[in-house]
Structure 1
Amino acid sequence: MFCSHCGAQMAPDAAYCSVCGKAAGAGPVNLDKPSAPAPHTDGGIPDGVKGWSWGAFLLNWIWAIGNRSWIGLLALVPYVGWIVVFWLGFKGREMAWKNKQWDSLEHFNRVQRKWSQWGIGITIAAIVLAVLAAMFAPDAVDLDLDADRTVTVQRSEALVRANDAAVTARGLIDSNADNLPASLSTVAGLLDRRTNADGSRAVTLGGKVLFSGEDAGWQFPLRSFTLSGGKEAILMASSGGRGASCETMFFFLLADASGVKPTPMFGTCAARGSFVQRGDAIELELPDVNGASTIVLEDGVVVEDGQVVSLTGMNDPSR
């Protein structure tokens, strides 16, 4: 026989406990059985169950499996998962009490306390690992950036080499130079300048007058560019008679065995510039008020700063 108050062993006929001095009361206590659960006070949830659960919050779906609270697996669902995680933190303990058998409230609290300890411990360990990774990551990032820079430089150098390999010729043009050719041999014949008996000037090709207009006295060849298919592009200048406001304009003569054809005049009025030939494409760069203007001749078409130059009465070199 045991005391119903303190659990001390009593004689079978004792009226009072020799340890606590209280009356035997309700009779013997069986210590082999767990104590009765605490009284329920709120819908079957005893005092001491409700409260925030760090284990459910931090370990969420893992905690849900361990505590048979299957709704907690919604924490794995994108977007709604964050809402479920916080809901588990608030309501997890209550769900765990209802969904799993517990020996007592003490047993329940002990298990939930371990879940919280594991959750906090794992979270702290993850933070420490993240900090350590961040400390050493810059070196790895620098290595990656260095590798990327090396690849970029190599690609840029390869492009430069490819462009250089495609360059047929490059150099400067100057319509005011002293060593400009008086005549030029072309695939269509000799291109020459001559003065007529009346003192007028003309540009001739193979002895035949090519230009005899108002500007003919100021038109002369600068240089020739060899093109594929037996063709040729001759850069011409129109200079000297334009006054101080516009020193020089340019145009091309497109020549083949059958003759020549002029392109429209173009330019910025600057007498000097540079050229690059890549295959059949000829690119001129002439200074202007905005820095520089780019003119490209390709397939017989002149493009100035991205705009096709069309032949009009104002830019026709034969006038």
Structure 2
Amino acid sequence: MFCSHCGAQMAPDAAFCSVCGKAAGSTSSPVSLDKPSAPGPAPQAPGDIPDGVKGWSWGAFLLNWIWAIGNRSWIGLLSLVPYLGWIVVFWLGFKGREMAWKNKQWDSLEHFNRVQRKWSQWGIGITLAAIVLAILAAMATPALEDYARRTAGETARQDDTPPPADDAAVTARGLIDSNADNLPASLSTVAGLLDRRTNADGSRSLTLGGRVLFSGEDASWQFPLRSFALSGGREAILMARSGDRGNSCETLFFFLLADASGVKPTPMFGTCAPRGSFVQRDDVIEIQLPDVSGNSTIVLRDGVVIKDGQVVGMTGLNDPSR
């Protein structure tokens, strides 16, 4: 028999324990030899922020509205608002982690910190990549501009060079430019001197051998470009009219067909482009002018102007003398 209190052996008929003095059969609780356990942490109230949540968030600061959507912190979308957005961005950096903890279900504090660390890594990585790209773009821009200028200059030089005269029938080939600086003020023709004059009253006139061909406002815009020798002592004088009576067309052209008896104008023609090229084959003159569809071809043959295969007739709108 053993004492139920201290565990000492007792005589079978003993009424009391000879060691602790307790009565046999006592129901007193045995002495516990274990140390008392420490009190557990007090339960947190809803909305409390545990230690390890607060702090600066690079993910919220750098990715702002993207971070706000991913962490259900919708107030972070105010970072898209002009002017106010800069204030919200810094506020997200300071308070973003706390808002994310409150607005999303997390498995644990470790899970929360792991996700927020990834947001920060992505934010820093994207920002650094953007800075590097901006620096590279700034370094490359001057080189690209210089390349564009050099390419444009080479193209212009190529345009200014007439194609080689490989056609045996070609008697003349070159460029025409109504905006050139060295255009002639007068031109000697088989019918006399073609001359642009300024009258005493300041008006302009175009004369041939002293006789007025064109006068008034139109004469201020008409001037010769070059002459083409034709068979039989004839001549075709290419004329330009800039301004075209005040409308938006920059330049139109026409010919003065001259012989010993005088001159006769052809209808005006063109695409409003001031520059083009010409080829003369005996008495046929072909002019190429750029237009919206590529090029337009004007041919002078036997005193008739043909544009893209269609004869150009004289009307009140294309008569250079009106």
Query: TM (normalized to structure 2)?
Result: 0.48
Query: TM (normalized to structure 1)?
Result: 0.48
